């Protein structure tokens, strides 16, 4: 885990889920496990290198599990852990707040 102020719960939380891409990765893993390529296609604008780094950090922080299958060709899937699933309602609340902000922005621009 990154170095943060361990006495501040908000700092600790943001160190784990903060950034541009981690919430989106968690969102796309909500309904079902995904392969790397599926995430790469789903998350517009993310580079493969950044996706790899973000997935590695999410695995290290215990929010995502990486499962390798002994098949030919090899298959790897990413899925949310129980700890990761706990974030879904929180992200739902943030999305609702974001919808409110988008609506307010539209009202301001219409004037």
User: Model confidence at 111, in pLDDT bands (50, 70, 90)?
Assistant: very low
3-state class (DSSP) for residue 75? strand
User: Model confidence at 9, in pLDDT bands (50, 70, 90)?
Assistant: confident
Q: What are phi and psi of 17, to 5 degrees?
A: -110, 0
Write down the residue that tokens 């981690």 correspond to: 22
Q: Report domain 9-110's class.
A: mainly alpha
Please report the pLDDT score of residue 3 as a whole number: 63
Whether the per-residue pLDDT at 32 is higher than 70: the answer is yes
Please say whether the beta carbons of 4 and 15 come within 8 A.
yes
List Cβ neighbours of 73 (8 Å cut-off, separation of 6 or more).
none
Please say whether the beta carbons of 52 and 39 come within 8 A.
no
Distance between CA atoms of 23 and 103, rounded to whole angstroms?
21
Summarize pLDDT for 44-102 with one digit per residue, the tens: 999 999 999 999 999 999 999 999 999 888 899 999 999 999 999 999 999 999 999 99
């Amino acid at each position: 885990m990154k170095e943060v102020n361990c006495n501040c719960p908000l700092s600790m939380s943001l160190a784990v889920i903060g950034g541009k891409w981690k919430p989106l990765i968690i969102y796309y893993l909500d309904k079902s496990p995904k392969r790397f390529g599926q995430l790469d296609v789903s998350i517009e604008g993310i580079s493969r290198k950044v996706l790899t780094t973000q997935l590695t950090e999410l695995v290290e922080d215990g929010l995502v599990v990486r499962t390798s299958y002994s098949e030919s060709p090899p298959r790897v899937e990413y899925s949310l852990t129980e700890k990761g699933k706990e974030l879904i309602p929180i992200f739902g609340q943030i999305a609702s707040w974001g919808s409110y902000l988008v609506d307010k922005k539209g009202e301001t621009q219409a004037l």
